[in-house]
Structure 1
Amino acid sequence: MCGITGWVSFETDLTQRREVLDAMTETMACRGPDDSGTWLAPHAALGHRRLAIIDLPGGRQPMSVATPAGEVAMVYSGEAYNFAELRRELESKGHTFRTDSDTEVVLHGYLEWGEPVAEHLNGMYAFAIWDARDDELVMIRDRMGIKPFYYYPTRDGVLFGSEPKAILANPVAKRIVDADGLRELFSFTKQPGWSLWHGMSEVEPGTIVRVGRDGLRTRTYWKLEAREHTDDRDTTVARVRELMTDIVHRQLVADVPRCVLLSGGLDSSAITGLAAARLREEGEQLRTFSVDFVGQEENFKPDEMRDTPDAPFIRDVAKLVGSAHQDVVLDPAALTDPAVRRAVLAARDIPVGLGDMDTSLYLLFKAIRAESTVALSGESADEVFGGYRWFHDGTARTADTFPWLAFRTGAHDRGGLLPRDVQSRLDLEGYIADQYRTALAQVEHLDGASALERRMREVCHLHLTRMVRALLDRKDRASMAVGLEVRVPFCDHRLVEYVYNTPWSLKTFDGREKSLLRHATRHVLPQSVVDRVKSPYPSTQDPGYAAALQQQAKEVLASPDDPVFALVDRAWVTGAVGQDPATMPSRTRHGLDRLLDLHHWLDLRRPELRI
């Protein structure tokens, strides 16, 4: 796992601009604390920061191969879990290798197959190849968008990087945020290709972008397709079990310490059980980690999203599988520390406003990094198997909008704290409606499907092409900010394709959410987890958290010229800081978190706002 960046300019001698490339590369030191490298040619410059996971001494980058027609150089981030099989195949075709790294396998795969190398890979990856044979840059991103990848077209080429901060370190890139960027920031529709920064885009998942002297071209090499599912229930459950077992085994491969993120829910517990069984076969004990809050279990109160605290279920799983478990317990002071908030914002590049769910994730990963370098996560199971509560809420799933926006959690303020004139200019409801229509138009249907099956295919497609990408980005940024590689087994494209095409009636055959996953993995789960109702990532219920937010918001209010009030209504903040923190609605707490995120982000990134 690493950070990549680069610059292609067909009118500049980039061998004379090393200092700029070094500055771009250095922005991602946290993503790659183990090594740094650069490669320069007259019209292409590549930078790399390395987190060593496989072949610790041999996987240095940028990596290049000299061919009779010109050099081919690559910077690569991620893991190809099938690299051993691909290496054997390439060796049979005459390729020779100098290292044991998966990076070299991907590079030789490109030499053998060209850009279709992406279709041979199983894993998470974002990589860029400068092919001097054609004077072209080739950028390729994994199918689900697990690894981030951004680019910024210029007058005579392109800038790219794992994160926007790498691109913004180049003086060619302008730090402009316009109305289009803000609309998505406050809407949470996850528009494909969106970047907050004007002129910058994501390389979309499952996409190849080529940049040459004649401009930029894109090609989609993978997308969700509707296919007939012919397996019966038992066969389907068995196939999910087979896939899950193979995926977890593949993703445990590493030359560094590994662990699993355990929340006590079905998703993480299934990964934990399968991983523990595998490591026992190898004579190794699994390490597990979880996050909790001071007094959460003792004082827990059920709410609209969470019926039970995590801790009892975590203990049941750890006892059953015999893992070496560690709880990372946080208090309001740690969760509201402005330095931690700024570290999260520096990592994420955008002021999302998720508050303690962001800071706790960052602090959890920071604690894990002291013990392990690779962690497996249950992220994305809800999108794949249909686990969120709004999948099963009739009003939300039939609403004429994104189901997660229709479900009344109070977490989405739809820009309610924006000044009225800004709300009017952004027209968030109109933007959301446009995005929703655009998203539905991408869904393929099978002939003869019932109205319910058609709608649930749409709902699943929305989650797998929209929501999941936002959550994957969140997890990548928080983990890589501390040099931790988090792997997401539920995003293996084989599993995604198979489960996506199972009928909704099969996904819910036992009258519960995630029926297929529950039955496929119940052999490694305690009964308490098998019976547990879906509970999302934890959030503190301590009123001390809201009180600390109010105090920090008062300090912002005390500065009459704070630039945040271009985006936040001062009267709204004044009202929020006067509420009783013990009875504060979640919508208000969310708004205060967003205020503070915007306040610190504006100071960190200094954007030019064009609303």
Structure 2
Amino acid sequence: MSGIAGWVDFDRDLRGEGAAVRAMGEALRHRGPDGGDVWLDADAGLAHRRLAVLDPQHGRQPMVLDEDGRSTAVISFNGAVYNHAELRAELRGRGHRFGTGTDAEVVLHAYAEWGESFAERLDGMFGLAVWDPARRSLLLVRDRAGIKPIYYHPTPSGVLFGSEPKALLTHPLVEPVVDVDGLRELLAFVKTPRTASYRGVYEVEPAEIVRISPEGTTTRRYWQLAAREHTDDHDTTVATVRRLLGGAVERQLTSDVGCGTLLSGGLDSSAITALTGRALAERGDGPVRSFAVDFTGQAENFTAEVGRGSPDRPFAEELARHVGADHRTLTFSPDELADPGHRLTCLRAYDLPLFMGDMDVSIHRLFAGVRQHTPVVLSGEAADELFAGYRWFHDEALRDADTYPWLADAEHTFAGEGTADTTLLSPELWKLLDLPGYRRERYREALAEVPRLDGEPAADARMRELTYLNLSRFGRLLLDRVDRMSMAAGVEVRVPFCDHRLVEYVFNAPWAAKIAGGQEKGLLRAATRDLLPDSIFGRKKAHYPATQDTEYERAVRRELADLLDDSDSPVGPLLDERRARERLASDPGENSVNFRRRDMENVIQLDRWLRDYDVRLELG
């Protein structure tokens, strides 16, 4: 895994701009702690930071393909291509010769052989840039699920690009300006395609190729979900899901530095850990190394809450024993979760406030611990979006709400404490932003994208809509979070549930198949039943954990109080100070994991972001 960045300009000679290009790459050092370099010619400068996973001794990037002393293509590659061995063999049969064992070199030769259509042959997660000197064209290409990011900023005579916005913000042509729409996107929790909050910065979409040349910029999709009739019977459907998931896990174990798993003790991560353990055993490797997160005193003092009826630790440990995993639990205290330095690290990893409070800190600290043992882990991320694990798939009121279901869920969960729009920000700002109107517009746009199947029953059609919304919007928010928090610690996270063959198949499975046995994720449970102990097979969906220790909330309240007393606070003019002080004077809720705590955390993160990034808000 790596970080990529670069600058293309058709009106100036970039050979003297090495310092600017190198600075863009250095801003991504955390993504590639194992080395970095730049490549320059008159029109283009490419930078790269490398996390060495395949052929660690070789594979320096940017990588150049030379023919007769002439550079014909240059690549800066971030990601993993799981079918690189098969592609290498095919390309060798076509006369290509290789000098490394890396997948990046295979991708470079694939471009030389097949041109722009090479993207359709890649199986993996990636965000890559290929510069073609003869054609004076740059291709930015992203994987089908959008696991690996690329951002870009068009200039009057070219483009700047990078794996994260910080690479662009390093360049003097890009300023950290956020306008009304940018702030709406930041606060709305809807993930509008292509938007990136910072003015003039855009995101390459999943399965998209962006081509920049002197003639202009074009985009095209090389893959997209389609609605197809599902004709397999139940047993065949279950067997197919198992085969596709097992195949995805086996392919994603390709690494020269070993692989571990993230294990919460839920269905998804347990299935991935069990399948990984089996695959490693068949190879003569293992045992599987698994990693979990916990909080000081959480298991002993746990209180059931909405979306979480039990603590993770006992289930994770049971699954680890069941499969013989080498398991580690990383436990975090309230002081560590509230540490301003850790929160700032998370902010700088994402370049925007994440608004998930202690959950952001704990997942980053988890990856920092993982890094001490392995740089690659497999995750159960995206299973809930694909197999209908969230409660909004099953609660009729949430399922039929005329909005994004996760927003309806938030409104329902926090009824009586306020809604997602009654925050500590000022009423004047909320009126200006009109988030309800913004969300309605984005929701209508998303519904218009959904692939349809003629004659499909209304219930199945609605579930198809919800699955698409979760995969294309909500799931991408979570994938982005995992990418930034893991890469900030130098860890590569692979996501078998995002395998495009599995996604295509399950997307078209009827609702009755997905709730086989009358359970949430019934199809996934049936496909992995033989892998799991009874307790985990029957365990209900539990969201990512947050600490319940009231010491953490007290630390949050102290920090907010200090912020309100700071006349230089950049977030101060955006706040309803009266409401904020009333919040501080109120008693903590019965359970500290509530909307009021998250509200305070959000204000603190907004303040840090405005300060640290020197953001200029243009809301007039």
* TM-score for the superposition, normalised by structure 2: 0.97
Query: AA paired with 1:354?
Result: M
Shift of 1:285: 1.0
Quick check: 1:492 aligned with 2:463?
no
Letter in 1 for 2:413: T
Deviation of residue 194 (structure 1)? 1.3
152-161 vs 601-610, which deviates more? 601-610
1:567, distance to aligned residue in structure 2 (A): 3.0
Assess if the C-alpha contact under 8 Å between 1:405 and 1:412 holds in 2.
Answer: no
Change (3 A) 1:578 1:268: same
Match of 2:187 in 1: 186
Could you tell me how far apart the structure 1 residues matched to 2:86 and 2:330 are? 38
Which residue, 544, 550, 555 being the options, matches 1:548?
555
1:115 offset after TM fit, Å? 1.3
Partner amino acid, structure 2, of 1:598: L
Aligned-residue sequence identity (percent) comes to: 49
Query: Distance in 2 between the 1:582 and 1:502 partners?
Result: 42
Cα distance in 2 for partners of 1:15, 1:569 equals 51
The aligned runs of 1:329-348 (5 Å cut-off) are 329-348=331-350
Supply the distance in 1 between the matched residues of 2:593 and 2:254 (Cα, whole angstroms): 45
1:453 partnered with 2:477: no
Report deviation, 1:572.
Answer: 2.5
1:214 Cα offset (Å): 1.4
Q: Which residue of 1 aligns with 2:50?
A: 50
Ranges in structure 2 where 5+ consecutive residues have no aligned partner: none
Corresponding residue number in structure 1 for 2:110: 109
1:402 is the counterpart of 2:404? yes
Contact 1:21 1:46 (C-alpha < 8 Å) held by counterparts? yes
What residue in structure 2 maps to residue 382 of structure 1?
384
Looking at structure 1, the residues matched to 491 and 71 of structure 2 have their Cα atoms a distance apart, in angstroms, of 36
Looking at structure 2, the residues matched to 134 and 26 of structure 1 have their Cα atoms a distance apart, in angstroms, of: 28
Whether 2:510 is the aligned partner of 1:503: answer yes
Shift of 1:303: 1.0
Instruction: Find the aligned partners of 1:186 and 1:566 in 2 and give their Cα distance.
Output: 17
Contact in 1 for aligned 2:150/2:162 (Cα 8 Å): yes
What is the aligned partner in structure 2 of residue 515 from structure 1?
522
Q: TM (normalized to structure 1)?
A: 0.98
Residue 71 of structure 1: CA displacement? 2.5
Q: Which residue of 2 aligns with 1:257?
A: 258
Asked whether the equivalents of residues 413 and 591 of structure 1 are also in contact (C-alpha less than 8 Å), the reply is no
Counterpart in 1 of 2:327? 325
SS at match of 2:232: coil
1:349-388 correspondence to structure 2 within 5 Å = 349-388=351-390
TM-superposed CA distance for 1:283, in Å, is: 3.6
Partner of 1:592: 600
Separation in 2 of the partners of 1:382 and 1:289? 20
Q: Write out aligned runs for 1:187-586 (5 A).
A: 187-281=188-282, 282-407=284-409, 408-410=412-414, 413-414=420-421, 416-581=423-588, 583=590, 586=594
- The size of the alignment, in residue pairs, is 611
Q: What residue number does 2:4 align with?
A: 4
SS of equivalent to 2:449: coil
The residue identity in structure 2 corresponding to 1:174 is E
Q: Would you say the 8 A contact 1:187–1:415 is kept in 2? A: no
User: Which amino acid in the other structure matches residue 589 of structure 1?
Assistant: R
- Determine if contact 1:383/1:463 at 8 Å carries over to the other structure: yes
Residue 261 of structure 1: how far off its partner (Å): 0.3
Does the 8 Å contact 2:96/2:109 carry over to 1?
yes
The alpha carbon displacement at 1:70 in A equals 5.1
Which secondary structure does the structure 2 equivalent of 1:299 belong to?
Answer: coil
8 Å contact from structure 2 (residues 548, 593) kept in 1: no
Shift of 1:412: 6.8
| 2:117 equivalent to 1:128 | no
Q: Distance in 2 between matches of 1:135 and 1:191?
A: 31
**Would the aligned equivalents of 2:287 and 2:324 in 1 still touch at CA under 8 Å?**
yes
**1:28 equivalent in alignment to 2:28:** yes
In 2, Cα distance between equivalents of 1:525 and 1:60: 42
> Does the CA-based 8 Å contact 1:181-1:195 persist in structure 2?
yes
Give, as a single letter, the amino acid of the residue that structure 1 aligns with 2:276. Answer: A
Which of 604, 607, 610 pairs up with 1:602? 610
CA shift for structure 1 position 415: 5.9
Q: Is the 8 A contact 1:305 1:409 kept in 2?
A: no
Please report how far the alpha carbon of residue 316 of structure 1 lies from its aligned counterpart in structure 2 after TM superposition.
1.1
Partners of 1:355 and 1:497 lie apart in 2 by 34
Query: Match of 1:195, SS?
Result: coil
Shift of 1:341: 0.2
Asked whether the 8 Å contact 1:186–1:415 carries over to 2, the reply is no
Structure 2 counterpart of 1:574, one-letter code: R
- CA distance in 1: counterparts of 2:280 and 2:422, whole angstroms: 47
- 2:222 and 2:26 map into 1 onto residues whose CA distance is 32
Q: Check conservation: 1:260, 1:287, Cα contact below 8 A.
A: yes
Name 1:158's counterpart in structure 2: 159
CA shift, 1:100, in A, is 0.8
- Given that 1:168 and 1:174 are in contact with CA atoms closer than 8 Å, whether structure 2 keeps it comes out as yes
List alignment gaps of at least 5 residues for structure 1.
none
Deviation at 1:444, TM superposition (A): 1.8
Counterpart code for 2:310: T
Whole-angstrom distance in 2 between the partners of 1:329 and 1:569: 36
Letter in 2 for 1:512: Q
The answer to whether the Cα contact below 8 Å between 2:148 and 2:483 also exists between their aligned partners in 1 is yes
CA offsets, 1:409-455, max 9 Å, x none?
Answer: 33972362221111111110000000000000001211111110111
For residues 469 and 322 of structure 1, the distance between their equivalents in structure 2, rounded to whole angstroms, comes to 32
Residue 455 of structure 2 aligns to a residue whose secondary structure is: coil
State the distance in 1 between where 2:246 and 2:198 align: 40
Q: For 1:222, give the aligned amino acid.
A: W
Counterpart of 2:19 in structure 1 is 19
CA spacing shift, 1:415–1:186, aligned 2, 3 Å: farther
Whole-Å separation in 2 of the counterparts to 1:70 and 1:62 = 12
